[in-house]
């Protein structure tokens, strides 16, 4: 029997990763799954029996209050705040002695809990690396050799040290940590993120969102931040909206709204900022949109990309390390160039090619056959490489490789 304690991270793609992975793991015989949430909205510790585990008929979720998470992250608080949750988990851990126990960390933030728990029971550690230090992408561009100014997070380094197996969600991430962090190849596995849902196209009334059937709808889903390339996208769209009156750009996500406000005056009626939306609304927007745009400066195995591919959207994405592994240019996606340079404050940054972005958008606006071709091939690539079932099976096999004789 394998007892899996999955330390969840309820943020961004890491949260989606857990939601996609865990239901499939619960269906595996010989695997008991315990979800651990250290940043829940519960005012105090709580336990939930979800009753979905094939191995034991029981599936457990542990919730620790969000207020405690900041103390778990900061190494300076040590035992005073780390010990209580570990001792609570011990009530379940002590029943696992004699079996294989695995802690799967979905974030570096709670590495101190792993360190403390090692003193109570023998277990193996698996970590999934969702986010890399930014300068790893800089180094990949143009044989970057300049002095690095970004320091690595202590918890990131400690997570790599404590892990028996490290899951990287792209080949680029695996190569980066082996080269830059001196992690041995036998500890590193590449398992691409997986996404599955009801992917049959649905007819959504565009009128529900103030759109007409003649509109060409562009869709951005993600945080409204410079790192997501929002400024380059809005710069390109300002010119496109002046040329094509039937084109609409929907922005879905929270973040720095001031970045959007600067462009609204020049794109009245064609640029729609929708803020954060429910998963149900986002799914409808995928179904009614014509073109998905992912202009990120830094990205690994983007869940937005997988969701768009699964809904047969024609996607334009940056040629950044990570995203380039998801799409085959001119076949399952259209890629745009990025480059390294200095911003107005003379700080290193990555820039997207705005002219090339405009060119790719115009190509898809004017060619419905190309849109269908890209969307169809993206969907097929998602089916072959990026389903949740595939991800879960590979992850389960990794767990089995750690079984204690």
pLDDT tens-digit series, residues 68-91? 544 454 544 444 445 567 777 777
Provide the whole-model pTM: 0.90
The yes-or-no verdict on residue 161 having pLDDT over 70 is yes
- The first and second tokens of residue 357, run together, are 């972005």
Cα(334)–Cα(314) distance, rounded to whole angstroms? 8
Each residue of 262-280: pLDDT tens digit?
787 777 789 999 999 999 9
Highest-confidence segment of 1-5, 149-153, 180-184, 213-217: 213-217
What pLDDT, in 10s, does the model give residues 32-74?
999 988 777 877 788 888 777 766 666 788 887 765 544 454 5
DSSP 8-state class, residue 290:
S
Among 101, 157, 105, residue whose Cα is nearest residue 126 = 105
Q: Determine phi and psi for 24, rounding to 5 degrees.
A: -75, -35
- Domains 2-195+388-400 and 206-385 equal at CATH topology level: yes
Residue extents of the structural domains in the chain: 2-195+388-400, 206-385
Question: In this predicted structure, what is the pLDDT of residue 144?
Answer: 44
Of 49-58, 127-136, 308-317, give the lowest mean pLDDT range.
49-58
Q: Which of 69, 100, 192 is nearest to 403 (CA)?
A: 100
Which of 219, 191, 372 lies closest to 288 in space, CA to CA?
A: 219
Q: How far apart are CA 316 and CA 257, in angstroms?
A: 23
Q: Say what percent of the chain tops pLDDT 70.
A: 88
Structure confidence at residue 146 as a pLDDT band (50, 70, 90): very low
**pLDDT averaged over every residue in the chain:** 86
Short-list 293, 173, 182, CA closest to 230: 293
Specify the pLDDT at position 136: 65
Q: Is the dihedral of CA 53, 56, 57, 58 positive or negative?
A: negative
For the ranges 118-127, 241-250, 337-346, 368-377, the lowest mean pLDDT is seen at 337-346
Q: Which fold has domain 2-195+388-400?
A: Rossmann fold (3.40.50)
- Which range, 127-141, 147-161, 231-245, 374-388, has the best average confidence (pLDDT)? 374-388
What is the CA angle 305-307-309, rounded to 5?
A: 70
What are the structure tokens assigned to 29, written together? Answer: 């015989």
Question: What is 206-385's CATH number, 3.40.190.10, 3.10.50.40, 3.40.50.2000, 1.10.10.10?
Answer: 3.40.50.2000
């Amino acid at each position: 029997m394998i007892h899996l304690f999955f330390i969840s991270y309820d943020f961004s793609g890491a949260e989606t990763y857990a939601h996609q992975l865990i239901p499939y793991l619960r269906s595996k015989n010989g695997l008991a799954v315990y979800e651990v949430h250290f940043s829940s909205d519960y005012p105090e510790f709580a336990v939930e029996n979800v009753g979905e585990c094939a191995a034991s008929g029981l599936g457990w979720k542990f919730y620790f209050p969000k207020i405690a998470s900041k103390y778990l992250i900061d190494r300076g608080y040590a035992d005073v705040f780390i010990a209580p949750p570990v001792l609570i988990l011990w009530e379940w851990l002590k029943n696992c002695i004699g079996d294989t126990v695995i802690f799967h960390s979905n974030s570096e933030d709670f590495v101190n809990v792993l360190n403390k728990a090692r003193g109570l029971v023998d277990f193996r550690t698996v970590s999934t690396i969702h986010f890399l230090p930014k300068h790893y992408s800089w180094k990949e561009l143009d044989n970057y050799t300049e002095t690095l100014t970004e320091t690595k997070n202590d918890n990131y380094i400690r997570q790599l040290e404590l892990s028996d197996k490290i899951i990287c969600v792209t080949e680029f991430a695996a190569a980066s940590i082996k080269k830059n962090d001196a992690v041995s190849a036998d500890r590193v596995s590449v398992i691409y993120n997986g996404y599955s849902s009801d992917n049959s196209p649905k007819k959504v009334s565009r009128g529900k969102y103030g759109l007409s059937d003649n509109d060409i709808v562009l869709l951005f889903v993600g945080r409204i931040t410079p790192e997501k390339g929002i400024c380059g996208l809005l710069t390109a769209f300002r010119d496109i909206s002046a040329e094509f009156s039937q084109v609409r750009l929907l922005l879905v996500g929270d973040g720095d709204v001031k970045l959007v406000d600067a462009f609204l005056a020049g794109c009245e009626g064609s640029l729609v900022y929708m803020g954060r939306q429910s998963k149900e609304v986002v799914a409808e927007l995928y179904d009614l949109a014509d073109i998905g745009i992912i202009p990120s400066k830094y990205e690994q195995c983007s869940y937005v990309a997988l969701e768009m591919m699964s809904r047969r959207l024609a996607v334009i994405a940056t040629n950044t390390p990570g995203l380039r592994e998801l799409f085959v240019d001119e076949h399952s996606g259209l890629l745009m160039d990025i480059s390294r340079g200095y911003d107005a404050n003379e700080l290193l940054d990555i820039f997207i090619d705005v002219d090339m972005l405009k060119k790719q958008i115009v190509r898809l606006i004017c060619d419905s056959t190309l849109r269908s071709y890209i969307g169809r091939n993206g969907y097929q690539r998602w089916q072959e490489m990026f389903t949740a079932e595939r991800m879960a099976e590979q992850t389960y096999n990794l767990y089995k490789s750690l079984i204690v004789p």
